[in-house]
Amino acid sequence: MTTSIDARKVLSDNGALGGLLVLVVALSVLAPSFLSTQNLLNVGVQAAVVAVLAFGSTFVIVSGGIDLSVGSVAALSAMVGAWSSTEAGLPGPLALLLGLATGVVAGLVNGALVSYGRLPAFIATLAMLSVARGLTLVVSQGTPLATPDVVSELGSNLTPFLPVPLLVMLVFFGLTAFVLTRTYQGRAMYVIGGNEEAARLSGIDVRKQKLVVYALSGLFAAVAGMLLAGRLASAGPQAAVGYELDAIAAVVIGGASLSGGVGRASGTLIGALVLAVLRNGLNQLQVSPFWQQVVIGVVIALAVLLDTLRRRSSTR
Amino acid sequence: MAELLRATGITKRFTGALALDGVDFEVRSGEVHVLLGENGAGKSTLVKVLAGVHRPDHGEVVLADGVRLAVIYQELTLVPELSVAENLFLGRPPRRFGVVDHARMRRDAVGLLDRVGLAVDPRARLGDLGIAQQQMVEIARALDQDAGVLVLDEPTAVLTDTETDRLLEIMAELRDQGVGLVFITHHLDEIRRIADRSTVLRDGRSVGVLPRGASVEQMIELMVGRTISEQYPRHRQDPGEVLLKIDGLTRDGVFRDVSIEVRAGEVVGVAGLVGAGRTEVVRAAFGADRYDSGHVEVGGERVAGGDVRAAVRAGLGLVPEDRKGQGLVLTSSVGENLGLVTLKSATRVGIVDRKGQRGRAAEMAAALRIKTSGLDQEVRELSGGNQQKVVIGKWLLADPKVLVLDEPTRGVDVGAKVEIYELVNRMTAAGRAVLLVSSDLPEVIGMSDRIVVMAHGRVAGELPAVGTTQDQVMALAVQEISA
């Protein structure tokens, strides 16, 4: 009895979880190969890049902002890492660190434009989307570069049943949940997203906190970029184009509010899994990629619609 | 007098809680019928049932033939970016050949504005008007739709005394024209001035109908269900050392050379008309806005200007006048809101002591008697008075030396008001001090030890609170100061 109530509570707290379960059940009936261990691991690997990007976007969206640059920043970070090792001859770990630092710097620039330059987040990060993509092309001269070994290993398996991307995704999930629920920065994000003026008048340094938020988003984007490059063993100039929209979709499917103040790490993880399961399942069912885009769009709209209806009925 | 509206036996439940319990209510042509009760007594629910927003579980609402009901809510439903005329005919502009007939719209607008005595250019942008004028536009719009019954839900909460006078005059005129008015207010003196009768709600029940001329004591006793011995229970004591010193504070074009001292154990009231610069001065002193010259000292130490965090560290707190817009995080819970100011001090190596924060929030919620289903309840669901207690509570947890209260009891019912006054007493008894900005003159006189009166951005004078009359305060507030 109590367990059924608990299950209901978990489902009503995580609107998207019900959707994910429905999706998994439907696909395992329609496509028998879907439930195989190997395929499920594949789903995890496929979800990893978007999930890590989306965790970073969760910080931004909870604090009432938006980051459109994460796809470009991911590509630039991976490219800087690859270039530092292949072209500049730096040792792999150092190249990796340089790549991650690139993401943080891009994030700091976003944050400075938003908090000190008073630019709307949409505009600041839209500009960064273009700048970072352009720099990626400049650095790469338009051709893919090989990644250092340490990055390529990010795409490999630790054991046959533990792909590294899956591990990284889970670690960053834990990290995101910890930051959001336990740390000062995380709690401040909810306050700023909920009411920026109240945050300021309560003595929270809103501008500094926003800087931290965008820097985190940039760092997470860089990690996602490394994961993506690792799987392909090369950093591509056109890598992760449009991923920022997948990241935002994952966060929103997970129940966050684009007006800020609401959102959770678990929701974002589920959102990213919903997208990955859907793509994987549609492939299994041999749905054409053209139609896949249509289906994914419909699912995003449905997920958020259901979530809105659920909230409305629970506050009545 | 013809009956315009009759509601009988209205019962309404929300997820188990009884919001209205067999309430009878009627409105006649040419009367002002006041709906009186504490926050949460069921006034708003009753209004929503009358307006057809909520369907009652039992009972019925009958409007006389051809009578329409219009509600003026506290939050106005106008579009600031459009002109006054466009707002008056929002959604149904006069048309000619399918195109909006601007000339006719302006002509009709002038006639309507005349009815509520508002002399503004119908082409003016609505957002450029003051809040009182916007309210008149809203009322004029309701009149154009031939509302026979006009419900005014706390319209005076955001108005100055002069604006309130004007509104009451217009209400009297509308009454003479045969409109039936339902009036909700927390200001009991307004009721004495305008009410033909008052229905008192308590805990969802109608507990009595008071005739014209009922005394304030009668109203309070029916509302609260007990007698409140003192409306302003201030315990005055000898002041100690200076805790807050605002010295020659100036912001060009806003306020000039303002000096205020607040001592330990003291409540200093700041009175003045709206626009006199009271809010601007205290916000600047708190670091929320910049100032051009002068300085602020807390406990003998200078506080850097324009830096809220420095002010908080020095021991200042501010309960802002706009509770929802600046005081609360509506998307968060009661517990989270109580912990806002102490979030930083409860953090060790970046990690928040959530258990400690929760424990302290629970103690504070109990000490302030905040009516809530628990710390996890969303703060938006609380009544105005309880929301205000949350904002004050978050500061009390940080134990500031001086707490600035800007219109702390606006939109708060009598019972909760007295509880907020008791908090003020408790702070001063503990050797802290309070700077009280309020447009409610009886409150300033009743709760302060000294009163600083501001006019035109300057200090017009200072009065001892004991023995001062409202007229003396007003005389200072309206005086012309030569620059």
For residue range A1-44, what is the model confidence (pLDDT) as tens digits? 344 556 666 666 666 788 889 889 999 899 888 888 889 998 99
pLDDT of B307 reads 93
Give the one of B320, B332, B344 whose C-beta lies nearest to A194's C-beta. B332
Contacts of A194 in chain B (CB under 8 A): 329-332
Give the one of B286, B340, B350 whose C-beta lies nearest to A183's C-beta. B350
pLDDT of B226 reads 67
Instruction: Tally Cβ neighbours within 10 Å of residue B310.
Output: 18
- Distance, in Å, from the CA atom of B275 to the CA atom of B160, rounded to the nearest integer, reads 10
User: What average pLDDT score do residues A217-237 get?
Assistant: 95
pLDDT of B230 reads 75
Confidence band for A275, pLDDT divided at 50, 70 and 90: very high
Judge: B331–A188 Cβ closer than 8 Å, yes or no: no
- Strand B450-455 to strand B267-272: parallel, antiparallel, or no bridges (unpaired)? parallel
Judge: A261–B329 Cβ closer than 8 Å, yes or no: yes
Contacts of B356 in chain A (CB under 8 A): none
The residues near B413 (Cβ < 8 Å, ≥ 6 apart) are B37, B38, B39, B41, B186, B223, B383, B384, B385
Instruction: Tally Cβ neighbours within 10 Å of residue B434.
Output: 27
- Distance, in Å, from the CA atom of B478 to the CA atom of A16, rounded to the nearest integer, reads 60
Question: Which of A:194-213 have CB within 8 Å of B?
Answer: 194-195, 197-205
- Distance, in Å, from the CA atom of B16 to the CA atom of B343, rounded to the nearest integer, reads 35
Question: Do residues B221 and B188 touch, judged by C-beta distance below 8 A?
Answer: no
Strands (E), B15-101: 17-28, 32-36, 58-63, 68-72, 95-96, 99-100
Distances (CA, A) of A57 to A40, A210, A214: 25, 13, 9
- Distance, in Å, from the CA atom of A228 to the CA atom of A168, rounded to the nearest integer, reads 12
pLDDT of A200 reads 94
ipTM of the complex, rounded to two decimals: 0.82
pLDDT of A1 reads 39
- Distance, in Å, from the CA atom of B243 to the CA atom of B266, rounded to the nearest integer, reads 10
Angle at B172 between CA B166 and CA B173, to 5 degrees: 90
Question: Do residues B200 and B36 touch, judged by C-beta distance below 8 A?
Answer: yes
Judge: A203–B350 Cβ closer than 8 Å, yes or no: no
Q: What DSSP letter does each residue of B140-168 carry, written as one string?
A: HHHHHTTEEEEEEESGGGG--HHHHHHHH
Q: Which helix (H) or strand (E) holds B268?
A: strand B267-272
Question: Do residues A56 and A219 touch, judged by C-beta distance below 8 A?
Answer: yes
pLDDT of A314 reads 55
The residues near B452 (Cβ < 8 Å, ≥ 6 apart) are B260, B268, B269, B270, B271, B459, B461, B462
Give the one of B311, B329, B352 whose C-beta lies nearest to A184's C-beta. B352
Distances (CA, A) of A283 to A279, A286, A300, B387: 6, 5, 18, 52
pLDDT of B197 reads 94
Judge: A182–B351 Cβ closer than 8 Å, yes or no: yes
- Distance, in Å, from the CA atom of A27 to the CA atom of A20, rounded to the nearest integer, reads 11
- Distance, in Å, from the CA atom of A44 to the CA atom of A22, rounded to the nearest integer, reads 17
- Distance, in Å, from the CA atom of A43 to the CA atom of A169, rounded to the nearest integer, reads 12
- Strand B197-202 to strand B450-455: parallel, antiparallel, or no bridges (unpaired)? unpaired
Contacts of B358 in chain A (CB under 8 A): none
Residues of chain B falling short of pLDDT 50: 482-483
pLDDT of A140 reads 93
* Beta-carbon pairs below 8 A across chains A and B: 81
B344 at the A interface (CB within 8 A)?
Answer: yes
pLDDT digits (tens, 9 = 90+) for A113-172: 999 999 999 999 999 999 999 999 999 999 999 998 888 888 888 887 889 999 999 999
Give the one of B330, B331, B341 whose C-beta lies nearest to A202's C-beta. B341
Give the one of A181, A183, A195 whose C-beta lies nearest to B330's C-beta. A195
Q: Mutation test of the interface with chain A: which of B340, B354, B357, choosing the one with the most A Cβ atoms within 10 A?
A: B340
Residue B185's nearest CA partner among B170, B173, B168 is B168
pLDDT digits (tens, 9 = 90+) for A49-103: 999 999 999 999 999 999 999 999 999 999 999 999 999 989 999 999 999 999 9
Q: Global pTM? A: 0.80
Question: Do residues B329 and B340 touch, judged by C-beta distance below 8 A?
Answer: yes
pLDDT at A108 over 50: yes
B108 at the A interface (CB within 8 A)?
Answer: no
A13 at the B interface (CB within 8 A)?
Answer: no
Helices A289-315, A265-284: crossing angle, 10 deg rounding? 150
Contacts of B19 in chain A (CB under 8 A): none
